[in-house]
Each structure stands twice: as structure tokens, then as C-alpha cells.
Amino acid sequence: MKGVFNILATPFDEQGRIDDESLQSLVEFQIKAGAAGLTILGIMGEVAKLSDSERDHVTRVVLEQVNGRIPVVVNTTHTGTRVVIEISQRVAAMGAAGIMLAPPTNLRNLDSVADFYRSVAAAVKIPVVVQDEPVTTGVIMPASFLAGLGLPYIKLEEAPVPQKLSRIREQAPDAQIFGGLGGQYFLEELERGAVGTMTGFAFTEILVSIYTDFTAGRHAEARATFYTHMPLIRYEGQAGVGLAIRKEILRRRGAIRCAAIRAPGMRLDAQALREIDSVLGYVGLG
């Protein structure tokens, strides 16, 4: 797995119900935009607000819509090892290409974290993507720890990501590392050896263009595209409200019908809607 994996938003209708039609539309939108793969039920997929049955439902709808055209990685993070294994085996049977897995929240003993990952990896037959996102999990996994796990894929989201990426690759040269954080450091991640990014940025085709140019040796072109669109990447990447911005842009682009965030969640005010108009116009996407 490599390239730009879109972390899929979960579309809801005005009543907060999963919107299957928009979910299917969003899958087609991302494939058309050139996504190398999809990562579903991530933090920005509002997974914490979904019931177990809803998680299974989203997985089934996405995998059926993709129908094997691109790989789909499913987040199976949970608080218990046995539950993670059960969910992971279930999504593997449905056709997932891999699982993304963060450590259980606030599990501070790194020996226990290592046991957790190795137990899951031994029980499933598809690759594990280790999600390093300490803001949400409260778990700090040092570069040496991640390198020593020996798992094939890592998604880095502990800032400063570029420096941590280099430290991991010094100790584990074969590690396949994805960036994240809305694509804010995508160029630097590629320069330090990342194989791609997993992010929900609303303009997947921009990230694909950066990746395609960079891997073809057209580094100046990749850099120009990255810096041209940085105002939008920065604005969409705001903590707390970034998902609401992302969903509003996806709605404007016709990818989903409704930009609703499932409660509780921050809503956009009138000024934010004007700011979206302004930043899209500034980067030539208005």
C-alpha cells in the first residue's frame, strides 16, 4: 500500500442518520479523484459516534461500493485486545485490505502496547497500520518503539512528523510510513521517505498531483502545487472545526448531500462560511 489514501468522512443526513447514498457517492468521488486507497472509520470518520452495528454497516457499504478497485483499510481501534481481534477478523472476512489500529486510550505501559499490537497482528491475516496519534489516544510511542514493533505500516501524526519519520527510518529502513495531519507536512514527509499519506483533505486530487510529481522526480512541480494550496490545507486542518469545514467543502463539491456533523460536534458560523469562500477563491478553487 502506498500513495494517497483518503480517510473517508461518514456522511449523515439532517437527522444524524448514516446517509448510504452519500457514502456511495463519496466513494466514487474519491476514486475519481485518484485516491490510491481509502481508510474508513477513522477519527475524522466520527467513528467514536457510531454504534458497533453502524461500524459494520459503513464497512459493508464501502467495501461493496469499492468492489475491489482500490484497497480499503478499516480502523478497528477498541479498548480491548479480544474485541479488536474480533472486529479485525470480521472486516478481513468482508474484504478489507488492512486494518488501522491505535493503542487503547491512555495505555501508558509500552510493554503492554507492544503486546497489544503483536497479539492482534498474529491473529489477523491482513496488514496492520499502526496509528500514532497521541493527541486522541494519550499514548506516546517513541520512534525507537515504533521501529521495534516490526509491523509493516505506520501512520505518523505526532508532531513534528518529518523528524520522527526520519528517526524511525534510521532504525527500520523497510518501514512503510504514511503521514497524516491533513496533509500539512506532506511534502516534507515525502522528502524524508514516506510512502504516502492518509488524510481526509477535501481535494484528494491535489495531494495525488503532489505525490505523482514527487515520485516521478518532478520535485519543483510537487513543491509548487503544495505551496500554492497551503492556505487551504492550513485552514481545513484547524483543530476542533476541521471536519465541519471538510464536510462543507465536500458538500459544495457534490460529493455528499449534507454537511452535518453527528452531535456533539462544532458547527460552522456565518463568518466561517465566508472564510471558506475566501480561501477557496484565493487558491483558485472557488
Which band of pLDDT confidence, cut at 50, 70 and 90, is reported for residue 286?
confident
Rg (CA), the chain: 18
Dig out the grid coordinates for 116 from the structure: 497489544
pLDDT tens for each residue of 41-73: 999 999 999 999 999 999 999 999 999 999 999
- For residues 4 and 226, the answer to whether their CB atoms sit within 8 Å is no
Which band of pLDDT confidence, cut at 50, 70 and 90, is reported for residue 206?
very high
Q: What is the pLDDT of residue 22?
A: 98
pLDDT tens for each residue of 235-260: 999 988 999 999 999 999 999 999 99
pLDDT tens for each residue of 92-138: 999 999 999 999 999 999 999 999 999 999 999 999 999 999 999 99
| Domains of the chain listed by start with CATH number | 3-231 (3.20.20.70)
Q: What average pLDDT does the chain have?
A: 97
Q: What is the pLDDT of residue 265?
A: 87
Query: What are the C-alpha distances in Å from 56 to residues 51, 60, 86, 234, 274?
Result: 9, 6, 12, 32, 37
User: Which DSSP string do the residues of 5-58 spell out, in sequence order?
Assistant: EEE----B-TTS-B-HHHHHHHHHHHHHTT-SEEEES-GGGTGGGS-HHHHHHH
Helix, strand, coil percentages, rounded to 5, for the chain? 50, 15, 35
Which band of pLDDT confidence, cut at 50, 70 and 90, is reported for residue 85?
very high
Dig out the grid coordinates for 212 from the structure: 505523482
Q: Find cell 474484504 and name the residue.
A: 95
Which band of pLDDT confidence, cut at 50, 70 and 90, is reported for residue 266?
confident
Any idea what DSSP says for residue 185?
A: T
CA distance 104 to 98: 18
* Averaged pLDDT, 144-163: 96
User: Which DSSP string do the residues of 45-103 spell out, in sequence order?
Assistant: GTGGGS-HHHHHHHHHHHHHHHTTSS-EEEE---SSHHHHHHHHHHHHHHT-SEEEEPP
Any idea what DSSP says for residue 211?
A: H
